Amino acid sequence: MSMSLLLGAYVVLLLGAITLIAVFYGLRERRFGPSRSGDRLFRCGKCGYVYTDDPDVDRSRCPQCRCMNDAFSY
């Protein structure tokens, strides 16, 4: 076996191992990462506080200043 063939095989194996590790950690992060919440986003028109509430609520009271607010659409 020539030296260039051995060096090429070493580089290919090393890159393959790095790719497999990256794929493994990418799948693991997706599986154990935080899932998107179904809550609605609200922004207070009086104090500017941003908060969430249940998905079935159309209007919500701000926890900071107690002002009623509509859902924030982004």
User: Tell me, what's the pLDDT at 1?
Assistant: 77
- Domain definitions of the chain by residue range: 1-35, 40-70
User: Tell me, what's the pLDDT at 38?
Assistant: 81
User: Tell me, what's the pLDDT at 33?
Assistant: 64
DSSP class per residue in 17-65 = HHHHHHHHHHHHHHHHSPPPP-PEEEE-TTT--EEEE-TT-SEEE-TTT
Residue 60: Cβ within 10 Å count = 19
User: Tell me, what's the pLDDT at 49?
Assistant: 94
User: Tell me, what's the pLDDT at 31?
Assistant: 74
pTM more than 0.75: no
Residue 42's DSSP bridge partners are 51, 71
Helix (H) or strand (E) holding 5: helix 3-32
pLDDT, averaged per 10 consecutive residues of the chain (74 residues), comes to 92 97 88 76 92 90 93 78
